[in-house]
Structure 1
Amino acid sequence: MEGVIGIIVAPIIIFMIFVAPIWLIMHYRSKKQVAQGLSEEEFAALTELAKKAEVMSERIQTLEALLDAEAPQWRNRA
């Protein structure tokens, strides 16, 4: 019985000494970064992606309009 307890306790102690502190530090560091919001670079990248998505949406609408005019049944093929 004592051997089984030792097998269980040893990994728990190692976890509490080495893994748990690093885990907590990394967790709260990431929480702090999230709370700070986006950096200027991230905001610029997000804005650029939003513009590209808008252009892509317009292109898709144009393509769908062309397909509706040329082949009205194209939506039923899928």
Structure 2
Amino acid sequence: MSDSIFVLLIIFGVVVLPYWLKLHYQKNKTNPSTKDDVNIDELQSLKACAEDLEQRVQNLESILDVEAPNWRRKYG
């Protein structure tokens, strides 16, 4: 009985396990490309949002420069 289990484990280790690992890593190799596309789109969206926020901050600073000229010394 134990000899047959040992033989089955050897067959599994020599035949099934390498094929299973190959399929597993092959699947993981193809998935990141789709994730990269999503990440690139998300980064572009975040960049546009950051540029908008930068413009808003510049506008607020220019308004504060006119209405409260000493605000930079007080809070800067």
Give the TM-score normalised by structure 2: 0.52
Q: Which has the larger radius of gyration?
A: 2
1:34-73 paired onto structure 2 within 5 Å: 39-73=36-70
Structure 2: 5+ residue stretches without partners: 1-28
* Aligned CA-pair RMSD: 1.8
Map of 2:9 onto structure 1: none
Structure 1: 5+ residue stretches without partners: 1-31
Give every structure 1 segment of 4 or more consecutive aligned residues whose post-TM-superposition deviation is greater than 2 Å.
none
Q: Which amino acid aligns with 1:73?
A: N
Q: Distance in 2 between matches of 1:77 and 1:58?
A: 22
Q: Which amino acid aligns with 1:42?
A: N
Higher helix share: 2
Q: Distance in 2 between matches of 1:69 and 1:54?
A: 23
Aligned length: 43
Q: Distance in 1 between matches of 2:40 and 2:66?
A: 39
Give the TM-score normalised by structure 1: 0.51
